[in-house]
C-alpha cells in the first residue's frame, strides 16, 4: 500500500496539478511511432558540442567511477566525482553523481536508513541550482532540463518514502515539467529517454491495476506501456549514466509487474555479475534464482550474501540477511531435508525481519509457517502451536496460511 501511495503522490497528483494549469502537449517527440532500430540515431555534433553529459572523454574517464559506485565502492567513486567537480564547479553533473552515490547508500536498506538523507538532499539541491543557472541562460538547453527533471525526480522519490507528501508533490510536478522540456534531446542520446520510458510504462500500468485512478489520467497524454519497456531496454543497453538505472527498473518491472520471471532473471544476472558487491542486485538475483527453481545457484548466492554481511561489507545488512536466510532455510528444508539447519536459518530470517521492523513481510510469516510445519512433522506439538499462533496473528484472514494455522490450532486445543 505504501508503494501505491508513493506512486500516486509522485506521479498522478503532480500530473493532475499540471493538467489543471495547462494540458501537456499530446506528443512532443516522434519517439512514440519509431521502431527500436530507428532509435539508434547518431547524435548531431552541433547539438552535442559543449554538453558535458554527452562528452565521450568525460564518460571514458568516469566509467570506472560509475562502476565503482554501483559496486558499492563509494569512496573510490566519490574521489573521481570530486575531481570532476574541481574542473567543472558550475556544472550539475558532478553534484548529481555525488547525490546518486548517497542514494545508493540508502537503497540497500529498502530506503529505511535516514543517515544519508541530508547529504543526498544537499547534493540534489546543488544540482538543481547549477542546472537552473544553465536553464536561465537558455531555455532550450536540454542538458539543463535533463538534470532538473532527474534531480527533482530523485528528490520527490525520497520525500515520498519519508511521507513528506507536499514536498514530494511539488518536486514531482517540477520533474515532470522539465521532463517534457528534456524530450527535445531524445534524438541526441539515450540518456534523455529514461524519464519518458518510465512515464510511458507507469502512466498505463497504474490505471490498469488500480481502476479507481483511471479518471485522473483522462486529462493527460496517453502512455504506451509496450514502448516504455522497449525504451527502458534500449537505454539499459546504450545509456552511460542512466543505463544501470534503466536496467534496474526493467528488472523490477519484469519481475513485479509483468511477472516475466525468466526475462527478469536474465536482466538480474547481468547486474549481479557486473556488480558482485552490490547487495541490492545480489539479493534480487538470489530471489529470482529461487522463484525460477535454480536452487543450487540461489543457495550459492545466498551464502555469499551472508558471508559479506558477516564481513560488514557496505550495503550488506538486515534486509539482505532476511532474503538470504529464508532461501537457505527453504533449500535445507526441502532439498537436503536438514531440518536443524533449516530451523536455524528460518530463525535468522525472523531475526532480520524484526531488526528492520518488517513483521508483515512474507519472509517473516512464511518463516514461522515453515517452522510450524517442521515442528508438526517432528511431532513437537507445543512448538507447532507457538509458531502457528504467530502465523494466525500476522496473516490475512482470507489467506491459506491463516486457514492452515487456524485448523491446526483448533485440532490441537488440548495438546
Distances (CA, A) of 21 to 15, 102, 180, 199: 10, 34, 15, 20
What are the DSSP calls for 31-96, one per residue?
GGT--HHHH-PPPPHHHHTT-GGG-HHHHHHHHHHHHHHHTT-HHHHHHHHHHHHHH-TT-HHHHH
C-alpha cell at 104: 545508493
> Which residue positions in the chain have pLDDT lower than 50?
1-46
pLDDT value at residue 202: 79
Phi, psi of 181 (to 5 degrees): -70, -35
Q: Classify 262 as helix, strand or coil.
A: helix
pLDDT value at residue 413: 86
Model pTM score: 0.87
Provide the residue ranges of all domains of the chain, joining segments of one domain with +.
2-259, 273-358, 360-415
pLDDT value at residue 31: 30
pLDDT value at residue 222: 66
pLDDT value at residue 217: 56
pLDDT value at residue 361: 86
What are the DSSP calls for 159-221, one per residue?
HHHTT-HHHHHHHHHHHHHHHHHHGGGTTT-GGGHHHHHHHHHHHHHHHHH-GGGHHHHTTS-
pLDDT per residue over 312-324, tens digit each?
Answer: 999 999 999 999 9
Amino acid at each position: 500500500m505504501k508503494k501505491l501511495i508513493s506512486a500516486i503522490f509522485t506521479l498522478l497528483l503532480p500530473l493532475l496539478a499540471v493538467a489543471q494549469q495547462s494540458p501537456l502537449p499530446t506528443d512532443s517527440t516522434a519517439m512514440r511511432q519509431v521502431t527500436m532500430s530507428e532509435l539508434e540515431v547518431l547524435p548531431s555534433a552541433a547539438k552535442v558540442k559543449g554538453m558535458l553529459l554527452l562528452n565521450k572523454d568525460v564518460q571514458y574517464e568516469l566509467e570506472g567511477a560509475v562502476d565503482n559506485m554501483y559496486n558499492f565502492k563509494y569512496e573510490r567513486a566519490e574521489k573521481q566525482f570530486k575531481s570532476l567537480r574541481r574542473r567543472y564547479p558550475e556544472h550539475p553533473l558532478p553534484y548529481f553523481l555525488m547525490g546518486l552515490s548517497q542514494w545508493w547508500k540508502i537503497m540497500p536498506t529498502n530506503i529505511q536508513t535516514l543517515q544519508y538523507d541530508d547529504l543526498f538532499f544537499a547534493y540534489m539541491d546543488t544540482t538543481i541550482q547549477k542546472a537552473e543557472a544553465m536553464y536561465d541562460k537558455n531555455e532550450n538547453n536540454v542538458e539543463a532540463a535533463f538534470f532538473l527533471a532527474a534531480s527533482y525526480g530523485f528528490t520527490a522519490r525520497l520525500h515520498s518514502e519519508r511521507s513528506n507528501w507536499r514536498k514530494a508533490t511539488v518536486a514531482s510536478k517540477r520533474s515532470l515539467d522539465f521532463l517534457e522540456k528534456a524530450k527535445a534531446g531524445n534524438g541526441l542520446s539515450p540518456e534523455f529517454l529514461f524519464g519518458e520510458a518510465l512515464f510511458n510504462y507507469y502512466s498505463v500500468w497504474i490505471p490498469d491495476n488500480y481502476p479507481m485512478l483511471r479518471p485522473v489520467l483522462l486529462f493527460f497524454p496517453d502512455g504506451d506501456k509496450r514502448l516504455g519497456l522497449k525504451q527502458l531496454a534500449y537505454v539499459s543497453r546504450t545509456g552511460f549514466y542512466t543505463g544501470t538505472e534503466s536496467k534496474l527498473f526493467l528488472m523490477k518491472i519484469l519481475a513485479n509487474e509483468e511477472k516475466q520471471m525468466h526475462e527478469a532473471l536474465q536482466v538480474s544476472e547481468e547486474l549481479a555479475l557486473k556488480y558482485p558487491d552490490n547487495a541490492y542486485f545480489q539479493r534480487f538475483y538470489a530471489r529470482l534464482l529461487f522463484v525460477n527453481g535454480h536452487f543450487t545457484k540461489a543457495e550459492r548466492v545466498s551464502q555469499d550474501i551472508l558471508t559479506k554481511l558477516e564481513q560488514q561489507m557496505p550495503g550488506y545488512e538486515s534486509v539482505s540477511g532476511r532474503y538470504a536466510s529464508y532461501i537457505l532455510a527453504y533449500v535445507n528444508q526441502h532439498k537436503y531435508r536438514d531440518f536443524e539447519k533449516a530451523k536455524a536459518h528460518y530463525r535468522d530470517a525472523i531475526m532480520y525481519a524484526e531488526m528492520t521492523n518488517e513483521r508483515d513481510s512474507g519472509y517473516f510469516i512464511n518463516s514461522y509457517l515453515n517452522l510450524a510445519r517442521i515442528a508438526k512433522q517432528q511431532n513437537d506439538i507445543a512448538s507447532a502451536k507457538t509458531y502457528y499462533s504467530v502465523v494466525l496473528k500476522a496473516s490475512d484472514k482470507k489467506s491459506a496460511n491463516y486457514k492452515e494455522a487456524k485448523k491446526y490450532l483448533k485440532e490441537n486445543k488440548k495438546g
